[in-house]
Amino acid sequence: MARRTFIAGNWKLNLGPASSARLAEELVRTLADRGEVDVALYPTTISIPAVQAVLGGSGIELGVQEVEAFASGAYTGANSPVLCREAGCTRALIGHSERRQRYGETDAGVAAKTVACLDAGLLPMICVGETLQERDAGVAADIVGHQVRAALSALPADRVGALTIAYEPVWAIGTGRTASPAEAQEMHQHVRAVLRSLYGDVIADGLRVLYGGSVTPETAPALLGQPDIDGALVGGASLKAASFAAIVRASH
Ligand code: PEP
Which string of b and e fits 41-68 if b means at least 16 CB within 10 Å? bbbbbebbebbbebbeebebbbbbbbbb
Domains of the chain: 5-250 (3.20.20.70)
177 Cβ below 6 A of ligand 1: no
Q: Secondary structure of the chain in the HEC alphabet?
A: CCCCEEEEEECCCCCCHHHHHHHHHHHHHHCCCCCCEEEEEECCHHHHHHHHHHHCCCCCEEEECCCCCCCCCCCCCCCCHHHHHHCCCCEEEECCHHHHHHCCCCHHHHHHHHHHHHHHCCEEEEEECCCHHHHHCCCHHHHHHHHHHHHCCCCCHHHHCCCEEEECCHHHCCCCCCCCHHHHHHHHHHHHHHHHHHHCHHHHHHCEEEEECCCCCCCHHHHHCCCCCCEEEECHHHCCHHHHHHHHHCCC
Is 96 among the residues known to form the active site? yes
Mean of pLDDT over the chain: 96
Of the residues 61, 98, 105, 168, which is catalytic? 168
Mutation pick for ligand 1 pocket among 7, 11, 12 (CB with most ligand atoms within 8 Å): 12
* Ligand 1 centroid – CA 233 distance (Å): 7
Identify the pLDDT of residue 251. 82
Identify the pLDDT of residue 177. 84
* Ligand 1 centroid – CA 20 distance (Å): 17
- Which has more pLDDT, 72 or 174? 72
Q: Over 60: is that where the pLDDT of 247 sits?
A: yes
pLDDT band with cut points at 50, 70 and 90 for residue 126 = very high
Identify the pLDDT of residue 122. 98
Residue pair 236/174 in contact by the 8 Å Cβ criterion: yes
233 Cβ below 6 A of ligand 1: yes
Identify the pLDDT of residue 1. 57
65 Cβ below 6 A of ligand 1: no
Residue 38, Cβ neighbours under 10 Å: how many?
20
168 Cβ below 6 A of ligand 1: yes
pLDDT (tens digit per residue) in 70-113: 999 999 999 999 999 999 999 999 999 999 999 999 999 999 99
* Dist CA 170 CA 101 (whole Å): 10
234 Cβ below 6 A of ligand 1: yes
pLDDT (tens digit per residue) in 132-171: 999 999 999 999 999 999 999 989 999 999 999 999 999 9
Q: Over 90: is that where the pLDDT of 179 sits?
A: no
Residue with CA at minimum distance from ligand 1 atom 1: 235
